[in-house]
Each structure stands twice: as C-alpha cells, then as structure tokens.
C-alpha cells in the first residue's frame, strides 16, 4: 500500500473530511489504531497520519481499511469516492446526499483553523447557537426527531472549538435582523441572546452587529465563512439550504478578506453591539 503525502500548503477540505471519516470508522468499529494497523500490515504511524490528515491514503488503501473495519455497501463506496477526489481543491456538494461530506469538511476546518470569520446576515452562526435555538430550526425544517437530536448534539460538540483551553479566534458579523427574528419562543430567543453576550465577553470571540438599511455592502451578496489555517491555505465556505462549496482560490479568498473589512466598517463596534443585543433582549422580554 502507498501513501500520498499531504503538502501542508495544500490540505483540502475534502482531505480533512476523509481524515474525519477514517477516524470515525475506526472508532465506531471498536478497533484500536494499533490493531487496525496490524490487520493492514502497516505501521501504527501510518494509520494515525491518515486519521489526522497529515497523509492521504489512496482509494485502494481506503478500501482495504474499510474492509478491515467491516464497512460495506453504499458507505464503503461513498468513502472510496471521497478518497478518489481528496486532492481536488474546489468542492461543490449538491443535494442532501452531499451534506454529510460537506459537514465533515466544515467540522475539520473548524478544528484545524487558527481563526474563523463568519458573516451571517439572516441567522445566527452555528457555533454560537444554543441547543434550543438549533433544535427549533431543525424541527421547522421538517427533520425527523431522531435526526434533530443528532444534529443538536453535533452542534454542541462543534462549539468546543471556541470554548476549549486553546480556542480558535472567532469573529462573527451578524445581521441585526438575525437577532430580531423570532426563532422559537421568546424564552428561547432571550436565552440565545444572553448566550451571545456571554460568548462575546470571551477574549477569542468578537461580535459585530450590522444594522439594516445602511445601503449596499458586499455582505448583501450572501453569507460565507472564512477559515484561516496555520499550516495551509485559507478557504472560503458557502453553505446553502441543501448545497455548499469550499473555495480555496487565492484571489477569491483575498476578495472575501476585503469583504470582511468592508462589512466591519458598516457594523457596530463590539461595545455598541453588546448594547444593541441588550436592547433587543429587553424588547423580547416585554413580548412575553
């Protein structure tokens, strides 16, 4: 079996998703990394590098690993296909079947990033959502009760990147309409808004509210997330209702860095943002 070295200047979101999938398969199988390495006739370090994304296995390697872990059928084919295109930089996923891939890529980007900037004009960033807020959105989208709880659990787990001991730097540019929109009960919104204030007081998190009706700015083109990495090129992620894309093109990334600067210029300062959130909390409580 051979290894495809990962250029630390070219780690793709798809490669990050493959690493997460391999790690998940091994953990769910109950097989230790050393035992799996023994079954494959490889060193423990090789499988460990696959799980961390430091090296990308070939599709043949992945097929052997999945066989050893007891993975068959559509899931096996899905992961082999993911491995086949792991080195491709641009990643467009369309339709619900692609969402698990895209989500895995986003989670791995969050874990590996040194900083994240998100522009969220109409809804609150996922990393800042309370369980009840996230649950309300999933229920409204018609997701099954079982899947709702899985999504909420994952959402809470993802939040660890901004609250852990060595957290990622997170900047959230939030449209004021997202704060005023009634998602769930007034109690749900009050809890969510108070949680924003709590997070905004952390040293690694900066919140900016962008008021409505301020004229044109680049944020009107839609939401996006900008990931910066310590050992790889930056990536822009566009997430839509049932599709999304990761774009690492240098010129595109720079354009979105400039967009961040432009949106920040028309936003309220962090201090003014906190005051605006408190004002909205007071208004929300008066609606009970």
Q: How confident is the prediction along the chain (288 residues), in pLDDT tens digits per residue? A: 333 333 334 467 777 778 888 988 899 899 999 999 999 999 989 999 898 888 889 999 999 999 999 998 888 888 888 888 777 765 555 443 444 556 777 887 898 899 999 999 999 999 999 999 999 998 998 888 888 888 888 888 889 999 999 999 999 999 999 999 999 999 999 999 999 999 999 999 999 999 999 999 999 999 999 999 887 789 999 987 666 788 888 999 999 999 999 999 999 999 999 999 999 999 988 766
Counting DSSP H helices and E strands in the chain, the numbers are 13, 9
Q: What is the pLDDT of residue 242?
A: 65
Q: Identify the pLDDT of residue 8.
A: 37
Determine the pLDDT at residue 261: 98
The domains located in the chain, with CATH, are 3-84 (1.10.260.40), 91-285 (3.30.870)
Residues 127 and 161 sit within 8 Å (Cβ to Cβ): yes
- Per residue, the 3-state secondary structure of 45-96, as one string, reads HHHHHHHHCCEEECHHHHHHHHHHHCCCHHHHHHHHHHHHCCCCCCEEEECH
Q: Which residues contact 266 (CB under 8 A, 6 or more apart)?
A: 210, 211, 214, 215, 217
Q: Which pLDDT score, from 0 to 100, does residue 84 have?
A: 84
In the prediction, which pLDDT does 285 show? Answer: 81
pLDDT of residue 151: 83
Residue 2 has a pLDDT of 31
Residue 269 pLDDT: 98
| Strand partners of residue 3 | 57
Rounded CA-CA distance 84/124 in Å is 35
């Amino acid at each position: 079996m051979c290894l495809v070295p990962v250029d630390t200047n070219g780690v793709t979101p798809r490669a990050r998703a493959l690493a997460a999938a391999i790690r998940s398969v091994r953990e769910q199988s109950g097989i230790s990394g050393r035992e799996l390495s023994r079954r494959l006739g490889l060193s423990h370090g090789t499988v460990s590098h696959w799980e961390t994304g430091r090296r990308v296995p070939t599709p043949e390697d992945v097929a052997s690993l999945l066989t050893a872990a007891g993975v068959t059928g559509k899931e096996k084919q899905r992961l082999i296909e993911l491995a086949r295109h792991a080195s491709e930089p641009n990643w467009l996923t369309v339709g619900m079947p692609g969402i698990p891939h895209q989500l895995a890529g986003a989670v791995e980007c969050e874990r590996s990033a040194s900083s994240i900037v998100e522009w969220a004009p109409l809804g609150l960033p996922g990393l800042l959502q309370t369980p009840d807020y996230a649950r309300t959105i999933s229920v409204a989208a018609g997701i099954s009760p079982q899947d709702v709880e899985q999504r909420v659990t994952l959402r809470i787990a993802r939040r660890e990147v901004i609250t852990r001991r060595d957290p990622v730097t997170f900047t959230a540019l939030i449209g004021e309409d997202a704060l005023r929109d009634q998602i769930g009960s007034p109690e749900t919104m009050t809890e969510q808004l108070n949680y924003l204030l709590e997070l905004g007081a952390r040293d690694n998190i900066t919140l900016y509210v962008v008021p409505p009706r301020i004229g044109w700015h680049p944020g009107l083109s839609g939401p996006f997330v900008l990931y910066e990495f310590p050992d790889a090129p930056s990536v822009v992620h566009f997430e839509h209702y049932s599709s999304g894309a990761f774009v690492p093109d240098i010129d595109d990334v720079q354009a979105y860095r400039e967009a961040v600067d432009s949106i920040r210029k028309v936003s309220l300062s962090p201090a003014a943002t906190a005051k605006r959130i408190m004002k909205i909390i007071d208004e929300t409580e008066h609606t009970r």
